[in-house]
């Protein structure tokens, strides 16, 4: 009976710990992704740029030459 009680308490405590960890992680995720309403959006710190490099499209600009 004592072994069954110990295993049961261990299962309950592990289950409670798993629920607590899940709750903390969920609340942390919700808080980090929350949006503040009634504010103007800040400009993006980066801008997408499209650059075109002259030369060939693939590989090196000139073919590699192997020298012995």
Q: Is 37 helix (H, G, I), strand (E, B) or coil?
A: coil
Token pair of 20, please?
Answer: 């607590």
Please write the tens of the pLDDT for every residue from 20-63: 999 999 998 888 887 766 666 665 666 566 666 665 556 656 66
- CA distances (Å), origin 17, targets 5, 13, 28: 18, 6, 16
pLDDT of res. 31 = 84
Does the pTM of the predicted model rise above 0.85? no
Q: Would you say residue 9 has pLDDT above 90? A: yes
Token pair of 40, please?
Answer: 């103007």
């Amino acid at each position: 009976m004592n072994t069954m009680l110990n295993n049961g308490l261990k299962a309950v405590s592990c289950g409670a710990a798993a629920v607590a960890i899940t709750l903390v992680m969920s609340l942390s995720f919700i808080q980090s992704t929350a949006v503040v309403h009634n504010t103007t959006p800040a400009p993006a710190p980066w801008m997408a740029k499209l650059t075109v490099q002259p030369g060939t499209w693939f590989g090196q600009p000139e073919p590699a030459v192997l020298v012995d």
